[in-house]
Amino acid sequence: LLLNIGPKPDGSVPTQALKRLRSVGAWLERYGEAVFGDFQHVVNMQWMPITAPTQRWTRSGTTFYSWVSRWPGKQIVYGGLRGKVLQVDLIGGEQNLPFIQEPDRLIINGLPAKCPDPTPLKSAVLRIKFEELPQQLLGAGYEPVGLESEDGKSIDLPPHSEFIEKWLFSLPIAPIDDISKARYVKPGEKLFWQAASANDAGMMRIRDKFVNIDGLVYLATKVKVNKKGTWKLMLGHDGPAKVFLNGKAIASDKKSFNPCLDDRITEKVTLEKGTHEILVAFDLAQGKGYGVKLRFGLIDPKGPRLFPTQAKL
């Protein structure tokens, strides 16, 4: 049932379904890295090309996978892309494909004239490695990057990262009267931790997990840094919150305020290359605390857009 296959009365798989399963299996064997492991769907509208559903994207960190079901020939162009490209590969085929990166588009050359996917699905996958998380500004409500606005000024991207998506959360413990007194706890130990994801607005809504329950909850995540740098760690929250970075308290805010506002806590942090742990002690505040939103901002708005990114929990 999970595979939407209707077996025969004797439990065997019909020949027609078996052919399709083998086709899918062959495709996964070749392009599995775009599906398995620590990957995420790219669901923002500006990433959805006009030819959808013939093309989809997934990503793992700053590596993006473009699923191309309508093969363009020897060249493919992605409009509106902003973010330095390091390398482009055809999974199972040519590596280090030549590309040209212009202010408002990415042009990839050197592709085979015909779709190189040997499976009946005919959906090849390009691996595009970026230096940082890119943005693609297309569609209604967006102006193409690399152009000038009506007043002649250049169009800049927001000086902050995407919101962190993956979290661990603990069961509530007894509330405390002052969030600044919350102690550090090691994620994954005791407190029965569970995994969860932020919603489309980037908010980790912990209140949905504990309706009509009060207390102190811990939320934990990890980020990775490819190059040492300094950023603004920015936490949005509505209930009282205290932030720990790599086990050390760096900031707290004891006020409750609805709705959840972005970047209520802003703290300058310097992170070495590698993986870093962020822990938030969060007070459900008798129903006033719904959740948190975490992202990173640039110290220099004109500096390189190389942000910490989500790490595997």
Pairwise pLDDT comparison (180 vs 286), residue with the higher score:
180
Query: How remote is the C-alpha of 282 from its chain's centroid?
Result: 23
Same domain, 235 and 296: yes
pTM as predicted: 0.55
- Which residue among 115, 136, 157 closes a domain? 136
CA nearest to 106, candidates 125, 87, 93, 123: 87
Pairwise pLDDT comparison (47 vs 168), residue with the higher score:
168
Asked whether residue 98 is assigned to any structural domain, the reply reads yes
Same domain, 181 and 293: yes
Same domain, 194 and 58: no
Q: Which helix (H) or strand (E) holds 293?
A: strand 291-298
Asked whether residue 88 is assigned to any structural domain, the reply reads yes
pLDDT bracket for residue 138 (50, 70, 90): low
Asked whether residue 272 is assigned to any structural domain, the reply reads yes
Question: What is the span of the domain harbouring residue 63?
Answer: 33-136
Same domain, 298 and 235: yes
Asked whether residue 159 is assigned to any structural domain, the reply reads no
Same domain, 48 and 175: no
CATH number of the domain where residue 126 is located: 2.60.40.1180
Number of domains forming the structure of the chain: 2
The predicted model gives 86-92 an average pLDDT of 94
What percentage of residues in the chain have a pLDDT greater than 70? 83
Same domain, 119 and 202: no
Long-range CB pairs of 104-107, under 8 A, 24+ apart, other chains included: 104/79, 104/80, 104/144, 104/145, 104/146, 104/147, 105/77, 105/78, 105/79, 105/80, 105/81, 106/77, 106/78, 106/81, 107/75, 107/76, 107/77
Q: What are the structure tokens assigned to 42, written together?
A: 């790219």
Asked whether residue 210 is assigned to any structural domain, the reply reads yes
Lowest-pLDDT choice from 47-61, 165-179, 189-203 = 47-61
CATH number of the domain where residue 230 is located: 2.60.120.260
Asked whether residue 257 is assigned to any structural domain, the reply reads yes
Same domain, 41 and 81: yes
Same domain, 130 and 176: no
Asked whether residue 10 is assigned to any structural domain, the reply reads no
- Which residue among 87, 119, 136 closes a domain? 136
Q: What is the mean pLDDT of the chain?
A: 83
